[in-house]
Amino acid sequence: MQRREFFQHFLKRAGIGAGAVTAATAGLVGYYQPRKEVYDASGKNNDELPEKLTTPKKAVVIGGGLAGISSALELARRNFEVTLVEASPSLGGKLTGWPIEALGEQFPVEHGFHGFFDQYYNLNEMFASAGIGSEMFTASPGYPVIFSDQQVEVFGQTPKWFPFNILSVVQQSKRLDIASFLKDYPGLWPVISMFRYQYDRTFHDWDSIDFMTYCQRGEVLPAFIDTVLHPFSDATMNRMEVLSAAEAMRYFHFYFMGSPEGLAFKITTKDCMSALIDPLEKKLTSMGVRVLKGQKARNLVMQNGRVTAVRLDGAGGASGAVASIPKREVPVTGWLQHTSEAGIPVLVARSGAEWVALDGRCTHMGCPVGSEEGSDGLYCPCHAGRFDAEGVPFSGPPKAPLARLDVREAGEMLVIEKAPSSSSPAVVAAEELPCDYCVVASDVRGTRELIASSQPDNRDFANRVADLGEADPYVVWRVWLDRPLSSADFPFYTVSGYTYTDSITFYSSFQQPFIDWAKRTGGCVAELHAYAVAPEDVRPEPEIRAAMLQELYAMFPESKNATIRHELFMMQSNFTRWAPGDHAKRPAVETPYPNLFLAGDWVRTNAPVFLMEAAAFTGRQAANAIAAKESLRQRPLPIVPMDGIFA
């Protein structure tokens, strides 16, 4: 195709009459524009149905993240008697936070930086319902990208109209001028094809390969991959090299190509826990939701093809084998870290002639705990929780000790079992929560454990849940520096081209109490985030921290003169994997069991949603499905367009 023909074809497809600016403008704001839509799976008579139950029924929601909160709120509005169960001491999931002591003061910390985009329609409605107003947010002034081998690129507020939105991104780039971008027209077709997002077709055609392969096969301009596609797609928390091309297209459709809102996003002026989660919890309790925090759902009680109750972990629970380990594998000193067939981390050590075994799940968020170098204690790298040799916490957010497990010898093997009873304050009395409906809204790991423990008779469903995966681990490293970094003009930067760092956030420029601390001390608080660490780059903490420090020096050279006054390093693995081929196997919101539903960003849905919005959306979708079972009115859910503008 000649370049003139390419331009004519491109302009024709975009609705632009050649040489006619007014006609082009009319076309662009006309047919080929993304518009906010409504997802409505209800029937014709939906508006005539009652909104609430006349006689309450019991609903148990497992998981207190955004999906669980969303579902619990919707069910409570419909007059269900809702119990929300959360294993950790606080609600919020990946938005949860906790206080730490640092430099003689108390500071809030959380899992990492979060941006709240304007197209988070369902999430923003949920915030508004809890009275969370605009004063909790401030608009981000831009979307800068730091590169390891070129100047910083700043992508500001982009137009909302196609094709000016994508051309604006190119125009703002120092590396990608319009002429060079359009000159390489064969490599533009894969990008244009991303404007043709259509759920069924896209996943049929492109879920079998990774996004990097998709771009390379299509000969996408390498500079466009490096400058735009790579740094933005990494924010899925999955590396471009292992991210499904179809999921990447859904992601770009939701955040940019199909969004009527452009690239605008907001950031919280306080930590997410106090700004968002605490008000949501107050809203839940005001609506009569029973909130059980620090209580883990052990399994679902299933009878006659239905869930009849949710059984919580506790002292009254039955004992049972957890793992069987050869004696010879337990070291003479220190702890053996073992993962059972059910995925439960177990810690085993010698204590003289006796054996000691602990449940290796941190009592804060359930992350795996391991040995701490240079001590006989234990350490949770996810949230910097520290336990002594008896499993008792003494630093970080965990408040309860690790649960003791029974150990008995069987020849050359050690059989590790759940203790039938315990005096540990971490263990509460067992309780069964009877339910008419159940929504499982845990993360991937929690859902896998719960369903495996429940032993459902539908093997296809059990296998679909068991096949769910987590993305590569991510790192959050927050540092309190003794001086400001004067060249840091933005509160948040995406980062490209470094081994570890994928973003850096300067909390002291937009969030309290870090703003006040910086003013009083002359320092600053920065957080480096590695979105997904490749297996070959997983190293001991000191090595990763040292490498990220060098990357900080490269990004902001004046930081070489700064002293780190305090730091918090966390390495976690709890984001959803979006690998090629995963989508077809994912369980959906509705399950083979008529009163069991699923919610979370990992659930298969045909709606164009992602990350936090996917959690809030599927929570509402599960509530709608339950409403349908009870012949109640379903709530139409706002979404970006189902299809791309060229679909």
Residue 228, domain member (yes or no) = yes
Residue 446, domain member (yes or no) = yes
Query: Do 309 and 436 belong to one domain?
Result: yes
Residue 156, domain member (yes or no) = yes
Query: Do 227 and 366 belong to one domain?
Result: no
- Tell me the HSE value of 418 on the side-chain side, using a 13 A CA sphere: 16
Beta strand pairing call for 503-506 and 524-530: antiparallel
Query: Do 252 and 344 belong to one domain?
Result: no
Query: Do 445 and 485 belong to one domain?
Result: no
Query: Do 80 and 172 belong to one domain?
Result: no
Provide the strand spans (E) within 487-587: 492-496, 503-506, 524-530, 564-572
Query: Do 506 and 538 belong to one domain?
Result: yes
Query: Do 147 and 248 belong to one domain?
Result: yes
State which H helix or E strand residue 121 sits in.
Answer: helix 121-129
C-alpha to C-alpha distance for 138 and 135, rounded to whole angstroms: 7
Which of 229, 257, 285 terminates a domain? The answer is 257
C-alpha to C-alpha distance for 576 and 563, rounded to whole angstroms: 36
pLDDT (0 to 100) of residue 30: 57
Residue 580, domain member (yes or no) = no
Hey, CA dihedral for 65, 71, 76, 80, is it positive or negative?
negative
| Number of folded domains that form the chain | 4
Residue 193, domain member (yes or no) = yes
Residue 15, domain member (yes or no) = no
Query: Do 307 and 331 belong to one domain?
Result: no
Residue 24, domain member (yes or no) = no
400 within 8 A of 313, measured Cβ to Cβ? no
66 within 8 A of 277, measured Cβ to Cβ? no
Torsion of CA 264, 531, 387, 404, to 10 degrees: 100
Residue 302, domain CATH: 3.50.50.60
pLDDT tens per residue across span 539-560: 989 999 999 999 999 999 999 9
Tokens 């804060």 belong to which residue?
A: 364
Closest CA to 466 of 291, 342, 562, 591: 342
Amino acid at 74: E
pLDDT (0 to 100) of residue 424: 42
Question: Which residue range is the domain that position 527 belongs to?
Answer: 472-572
pLDDT (0 to 100) of residue 422: 43
SS3 assignment, position 71: helix
Low-confidence ranges of the chain (pLDDT < 70): 1-32, 156-187, 314-321, 341-343, 382, 420-430
pLDDT tens per residue across span 595-606: 999 999 999 999
pLDDT (0 to 100) of residue 161: 63
Query: Do 227 and 283 belong to one domain?
Result: no
Residue 411, domain CATH: 2.102.10.10
290 beta partners = 83
365 beta partners = none
Query: Do 283 and 155 belong to one domain?
Result: no
pLDDT (0 to 100) of residue 2: 44
Residue 16, domain member (yes or no) = no
Query: Do 413 and 440 belong to one domain?
Result: no
Which of 511, 541, 572 terminates a domain? The answer is 572
Query: Do 280 and 331 belong to one domain?
Result: no
